[in-house]
Amino acid sequence: MKKIVSFAALSAVAAAVLAPMTAMADDGLSYNVGVVSDYRYRGISQTLLQPAVQGGLDYAKGAFYVGTWASTISWIKDNGVDGPVELDIYAGYKRDVGPVGLDFGLLQYAYVGNKLADVGTGSTYKNANTTEIYGAATFGPATAKLSYALTDLFGNYDFANSKSSAGSYYFDLSATFDVAGFSVVPHYGYQSVANITNASYSDYSVTVSKEALAKGLTFSLALIGTDANKTFYVPGAAANSTKLLGDSGAVLGAKYSF
């Protein structure tokens, strides 16, 4: 991602049709493929406000699950180096404790073949690959989730002061409601980026989705906004653009699960 622009749980769009971690009702394999008008992750565009193609594979056995999810991206290329695909690999454990559903796991963001550490003289970033642990609790329609970075977050590093962005965290609060047959998901998130000036921000969204036309085919519309810094969250110089990647906007999506 650009500075902290990346992939893979969960903006409100992810909560509806983009999520790397798709919930599975039964044991066994499930698959999903989809397309979105803009790949937003934690409110920040990963594709310079352009469409993306995405897909995932999940396997669940009892309380345990593993999976992978991928999307086309442009933010690494926008910095003038290779890295066209994000591949998320994750594993976790879910269980209910009374009325509360708990979910704990490990997530690896792998930016296939990325050369982000080669950007600029002496580099502006380290390697984009990022490892996070996460924990979530669901009560009724509401879910609270905390993700914590064990490594530099999407390559961000303060070279001037030799300070890592490991220890960054993302707090996600969302709820899912059925309104006249539509799934409505309001969301608030806060991304704290350790030791990187102007990188922390909040994002918020409302996603409406509905299964239609065929079983397993879901369409969605997400209205997304952030208070991301207007000088930090812009494309890399190679993109020849000054667009704010966290600007308010609408994202259309379609996903087929089977």
In the CATH scheme, what is the code of domain 12-257? 2.40.230.20
pLDDT of residue 158: 93
Tokens of residue 193, six digits = 């980026």
Which pTM value belongs to this model? 0.90
Q: Are 179 and 210 in contact (CB under 8 A)?
A: no
18: how many CB neighbours lie within 10 A of its CB?
31
pLDDT 10s digit of each residue in the chain, 258 long?
545 544 343 444 444 444 444 444 468 999 999 999 999 999 999 999 999 999 999 999 999 999 999 999 999 999 999 899 999 999 999 999 999 999 999 999 999 889 898 886 455 789 999 999 999 999 999 999 999 999 999 999 999 999 999 999 999 999 999 999 999 999 999 999 999 999 999 999 999 999 998 899 999 999 999 999 999 999 988 899 999 999 999 999 999 999
User: What's the CA gap between 93 and 89, in Å, rounded?
Assistant: 14
pLDDT of residue 236: 87
User: What's the CA gap between 224 and 204, in Å, rounded?
Assistant: 6
pLDDT of residue 167: 98
Residue with tokens 């009702």: 25
pLDDT of residue 12: 42
∠ CA 120-129-53, rounded to 5°: 100
pLDDT of residue 7: 38
CA dihedral defined by 29, 131, 2, 78, rounded to 10 degrees?
-60
Torsion angles phi and psi, residue 153, rounded to 5? -85, 105
Tokens of residue 185, six digits = 């998901």
